[in-house]
Copies of this chain bind each other. A is one copy, B any other.
Amino acid sequence: MHTIGMPERHVPDIVVARLPLYLRALSALQLEGHAFISSKALGERLGIGPAQIRKDLSLFGDFGRQGKGYEVSVLLARLREILNIAHEWLMVLVGAGHLGSAVANYSGFAQRGFRLVAVFDNDPQRIGARIGEHVVRPASEMEQFVRAHSIRLAMIAVPASAAQAVADVLVHAGVRGILNYAPVTLNVPPGVRVENIDPVLHLQHMTYYLGEDGDEAIVSS
């Protein structure tokens, strides 16, 4: 049993979703040399109300100091603990096409604690090719690799028609979190998390508010 880093009470998922945003902003503030930050200043950076920030963070403890705000380094360390990213995570990527290649080359993962350790594809034309620092491995080796290295996180960047089958193999091998770039909803058993990245869904979310020709933005949401 772990106790450090485990939530002590039920935290709404919408609050959990904001914690990485706080972490990202606090990391930037630390780089800029700030030792303390008020909930007001943090809120202005994030477009989130200061009361909401105080409420969110109070679920995990008492971090603020009267009159000085939050101590950036302390809050950063605690957020990393809460999000279970105090240590590095290993990931695999499935799919080495245009999108997969871009994902494999993205330096932000390693900088922020997520290390891509293998790239898989089932296309003979791609197997053996270099992508960044990786040599593309045959998809047939994926299950064994995931098991052997106790991989818990995977990214899927294959065509929509292939994504569910890939997810099934990954989950069977022990993966518990999938970042899904394929434009399809994956079905996974309880205990497995999926987060989706489909830019078109975001664009359509925005055009709802923009009106037919983009000239009639509805301000409130």
Give bound CA distance, A81 to B131, whole Å.
Answer: 41
Are B197 and A179 within 8 A (Cβ)? no
Known: A85-B204, A193-B206. A106 touches B98 (CB 8 A): yes
Residue of B with least CB distance to A45? B185
Query: Is the pair B210, A6 in contact by a Cβ cutoff of 8 Å?
Result: no
Contact between A21 and B114, CB atoms less than 8 A apart: no
Number of copies: 2
> In the complex, A193→B185 CA distance in Å?
25
Contacting pair A205 B16 (CB below 8 A) = yes
Contact at A191–B219, with CB atoms within 8 Å? yes
Which A residues, 1 to 26, have Cβ-Cβ distances below 8 Å to chain B? Answer: 2, 4-7, 13, 16-17, 19-21, 23-25
Task: Determine the main DSSP class of A at the interface with B.
Answer: mixed
A211 touches B (CB below 8 Å): yes
Contact of B102 with A204 in the complex, beta carbons under 8 Å: no
Q: How far is the CA of A49 from the CA of B206 in the complex (A)?
A: 24
* B177→A21 contact, CB < 8 A: no
Q: What are the residues of chain B within 8 A of A82 when measuring CB–CB?
A: 208
Within 8 A of B (CB), among A158-195: 160, 176-177, 179, 183-185, 187, 190-193, 195
Binding site for B on A (CB under 8 A): 2, 4-7, 13, 16-17, 19-21, 23-25, 28, 45-47, 82-87, 89, 91, 98-99, 101-103, 105-106, 108-109, 112, 114, 150, 152-153, 155, 160, 176-177, 179, 183-185, 187, 190-193, 195, 197-219, 221
